Amino acid sequence: MNAARQRDVVVVPTAERMRDFGARLGALLRPGDLLVLSGPLGAGKTVLTQGIAAGLGVRETVTSPTFVLARIYPDGRIPLVHVDAYRLGGVTEVDDLDLDADAETSVTVVEWGAGLVEGLAQDHLEIMLTRPTADEAGETRTVRLVATGPNWARRLRELAEG
């Protein structure tokens, strides 16, 4: 049986607004949530994660985990696990990170995780970011939210209403 899927699109004009959107999303998060971020370099994945962290009450500065693969921010209302799977070669290397050890008690945000981490949670939110092409001007980003599972579909409605 296929999981329920819902799609929403949000247009975000600036990095500040991306953080604001992330903070609104972060306020809806619960222990065990999995967010899978995709998009080209410079699309705003880490900026969105900074906003999510703010919405969770994380006080530490959130930076890209590109070179360390994963960072844990334990000081928010829910611990945040921020992962960059860009350099990982497959599911086996993701398994080596042992993300499932904290999955039920933390919020896990995985940049470049599509096709690698969805098995960590039955319900998850895929967030696809796009940025302007070289021919286009401005900072505007498009954020596509794809909810898998009934819990995320309901929360996406809450996010759209708030």
Q: What is the pLDDT of residue 19?
A: 97
Buried/exposed 75-110: b ≥16 CB within 10 Å, e otherwise: ebebbbbbbbbeebeeeeebeebebeebbeebbbbb
Please say whether the beta carbons of 4 and 137 come within 8 A. Answer: no
Residue ranges of domains in the chain, CATH in brackets: 5-157 (3.40.50.300)
> For 80, phi and psi rounded to 5 degrees?
-110, 130
Question: For the chain, what percent of residues have pLDDT higher than 70?
Answer: 81
Instruction: Report the predicted TM-score, pTM, of the whole model to 2 decimal places.
Output: 0.86
Confidence of residue 116 (pLDDT cuts 50, 70, 90): confident
Confidence of residue 150 (pLDDT cuts 50, 70, 90): confident
Confidence of residue 75 (pLDDT cuts 50, 70, 90): very high
pLDDT higher than 50, residue 114:
yes
**Tell me, what amino acid is at 137?**
A
Summary mean pLDDT of the chain? 84
Q: What is the pLDDT of residue 1?
A: 31
Q: Give tens-digit pLDDT for 41-51.
A: 889 999 999 99
Confidence of residue 84 (pLDDT cuts 50, 70, 90): confident
